[in-house]
Chains A and B, each alone.
Chain A
Amino acid sequence: AQTVTQSQPEMSVQEAETVTLSCTYDTSENNYYLFWYKQPPSRQMILVIRQEAYKQQNATENRFSVNFQKAAKSFSLKISDSQLGDTAMYFCAFMKHPHNNAGNMLTFGGGTRLMVKP
């Protein structure tokens, strides 16, 4: 079984600054995917960024980037130029490569609540 740990329950950052959210995971799989989801107060789950484990290059999406360290089983999210709209819960999630009919099940961490201050 996989486990995902987010060790920072809450974080805050000043608007326009950079913040890094931590995530570690435990798995015996070699082929898998990692995701960061954002959940604003509206409760909607929004995909922020994804990373394939076989790719060495870190994924980036505009102001969002990850630092993927496969050997260390670490997957942190960096948010640059933080904006007030980034205030949300952030969830790290793990998905092993699906086999046969198996769905793309996600294992989530407990979440980090990020507050962006003006």
Chain B
Amino acid sequence: DAGITQSPRHKVTETGTPVTLRCHQTENHRYMYWYRQDPGHGLRLIHYSYGVKDTDKGEVSDGYSVSRSKTEDFLLTLESATSSQTSVYFCAISERTGGRNEQFFGPGTRLTVL
């Protein structure tokens, strides 16, 4: 299994509070991603990173920011959480080598915003 951990695994918070989710990898992969999963939508990309300090927006980036100060860590921040951000959040990693470009996923974080 790919060495990807997410913390926390579960979190309940209140509307308006800041929240930071952490993704940590031990694979030294270049690319890291944050997705959210909601019923009927599959997974949707929030932000991704293609290197330290290099990030870009995905399909549903509004209300989220990210940072990557080290290869192994990718942080997702909700500056002021809203109930619409209640979801399951997945981190993923990939490395484009020899055409093997699959993404490997972390275990997910269930976030509830009351």
In the assembled complex, which residues on chain A have CB atoms less than 8 Å from the CB atom of B40? 110-111
A15 and B23 alpha carbons, distance in the complex (Å): 37
User: How many residues of chain B are within 8 Å of chain A by beta carbon?
Assistant: 29
| A106→B48 contact, CB < 8 A | no
**Separation in Å of the B100 CB from the closest CB of chain A?**
9
- What is the predominant secondary structure among interface residues of chain A facing chain B? loop
User: How many residues of chain A are within 8 Å of chain B by beta carbon?
Assistant: 24
- What is the predominant secondary structure among interface residues of chain B facing chain A? strand
| B96→A110 contact, CB < 8 A | no
**Separation in Å of the B41 CB from the closest CB of chain A?**
6
Q: Which residues of B contact A (CB under 8 A)?
A: 31, 33, 35, 40-45, 48-51, 54, 56, 58, 88, 90, 92, 94, 96, 99, 101-105, 107-108
Q: Which residues of A contact B (CB under 8 A)?
A: 4, 33, 35, 43-45, 47, 50, 52, 91, 93, 95, 98, 101-111
